[in-house]
Amino acid sequence: MYERILVVCTGNICRSPVAEFLLRDALIKAGRNPELRSAGVGALVNHPADPTAIEMMQERGLDLGPHRAQQASVALCRWAELVLVMEGHHRDALGDIDPTVRGKTFLLGHWQKQEVPDPYKRSRAVWDESVKLIDEGVAAWLKRL
């Protein structure tokens, strides 16, 4: 059972905060209270979540307002017991930051064999698809956590 989960994307303002908040919400509803964090391999450090991400999560009753982007680091990689990434190149980038992270890093869409494409500065339809894939990944991991 994992108690410290890190979710990673590129800028840490779109996919990873959405996945972090959705996974935390699902785990809390399942009676668990793990610690979740998110980061980016090329983070827009201290930036808030993207306005579309904030809006989409508000529609689900989740407040991304407090989120601020942070850069993935050796310390975060070593803190995490499980690391979930959006795309394969994120796993590679984390391995460059801290080679010890490789064995505990998986795609969020691992069980669906699916990457989550970056919706940054794209249409709401692209966002809808990315969030749908995040939902599917969260649901699949929830069964295994």
d(CA 34, CA 57): 20
Instruction: Pick left, alpha or beta for residue 55 (phi over 0 → left; psi -120 to 50 → alpha; otherwise beta).
Output: alpha
Give the H or E element holding residue 40. strand 35-40
**Residue 77 bears catalytic tag:** no
**Which one is catalytic: 14, 15, 77, 91?**
15
Cβ–Cβ under 8 Å, residues 99 and 120? no
37 is catalytic: no
Residue 14 in contact with residue 48, Cβ under 8 Å?
no
Annotated active-site residue 118? The verdict is yes
Catalytic entry in 25, 98, 118, 135: 118
Considering 9, 37, 50, 91, which one is annotated as catalytic?
9
Distance between terminal CA atoms of the chain? Answer: 6
Question: Which residues are the active-site residues?
Answer: 9, 15, 118
